[in-house]
Structure 1
Amino acid sequence: MPAPTDRPTPANQAAPSRRQLGQQVEQAAARWLATQGLTLVASNQHAKGGEIDLVMRDGEHLVFVEVRHRQRSDYGSPLETITPAKQRRIIKAARFYLHAQQLSCPCRFDVVGVTGSPPLLEFDWIRAAFDAY
């Protein structure tokens, strides 16, 4: 009989919770966007009625990034899950963030669709995916 081990193995290692998986995917998206030239300013910014996954800087623009994840694309792209209601919540949270930080600068709203399971992830980035209205 093999000796017991304290190290988890794939067979007995618990799968990450949805929240942990979401955080891993958002961190991976932030790292990937950094390789594309953006700089991370903040993450998981909560405001009444909304949340911003990533706040990044792209030159003079402050970029509010929504990260959407699906392990498989059998039922469509994660990008298809950004509804008008979700856009309104992101815009509201962005306005709150700008006011709280006393910022006045050009802004845009990007969406990153992530497919796969860490560490094997594919990224689909849409710059200026929607406008504030």
Structure 2
Amino acid sequence: MGGGSDSGKVLDIKTADIKSTAPIFHTQGKNLSTALTTLVTTLDGLGSPWGDDEQGKAFGDAYRPQQKAIEKAAGTLVLGLVSIHEAMADMSDGHVDNEDLIAGMFTKMRSKDGEGHDEGAK
């Protein structure tokens, strides 16, 4: 994020970058969810498609006990991708609000007598 130049800033967050990137996580979460559903329903529908030869039995013996854990882990990844999308959108909104708040703290106001007054020092 940012232009790649060293501006001396410690944190250079561009809300447009966050807002444009956030939906990618949602899209990829949906894609992973679709792939997981296809995998589970296809394998469940086929039974043991890896066969009864030596390699098929070895795969089935290793896969079956781990099948639910694999499916659960992939489901967790789906939820993670979707939550990253939501968090990035919230972070973008919060960053804008925070910048406005900080700017307000350092805004100089003119008093009635014309002297500058730092409103944030109240």
| TM-score category, normalised to shorter length | under 0.3
- Report which of the two has the higher share of strand: 1
TM-score normalised per structure 2: 0.26
Question: Larger C-alpha radius of gyration, 1 or 2?
Answer: 2
- Report which of the two has the higher share of helix: 2
TM-score normalised per structure 1: 0.24
